[in-house]
Amino acid sequence: MRQKFYAYLKSTFSEADGTGSATRFLAGGGVLATIIWVSFIVFTQRHLPDLSGASLFVSASFSGYGVNKIAGMAKKDDK
């Protein structure tokens, strides 16, 4: 079970050819940081905060991945 989980994580944070993707890793870190941040606020304040800041933070995390993918496609077209 643990090996399947690690294989899933590796496939999630890797490109199709198997190379690691820093932008996917950072986007996942942004999502994890947002989950921890919102959970901390809920446990300390005892209510759900306004999630517009959290959604903006997650969107910014994933926009870096999108920019990297577009740049990669542009490099392939130049060859």
- Per-residue pLDDT of 12-69, as tens digits, reads 888 778 788 777 888 888 889 889 999 999 999 999 888 888 888 888 877 777 777 7
Domain coordinates in residue numbering, the chain: 23-78
Question: Which pTM does this prediction carry?
Answer: 0.68
CB 13 within 8 A of CB 27: no
CB 49 within 8 A of CB 38: yes
Collapsing DSSP to helix, strand or coil, 17 comes out as: coil
- Per-residue pLDDT of 4-24, as tens digits, reads 988 888 888 887 787 887 778
Write the DSSP string, 39-78. Answer: HHHHHHHSSPPPTHHHHHHHHHHHHHHHHHHHHHHHHHHH
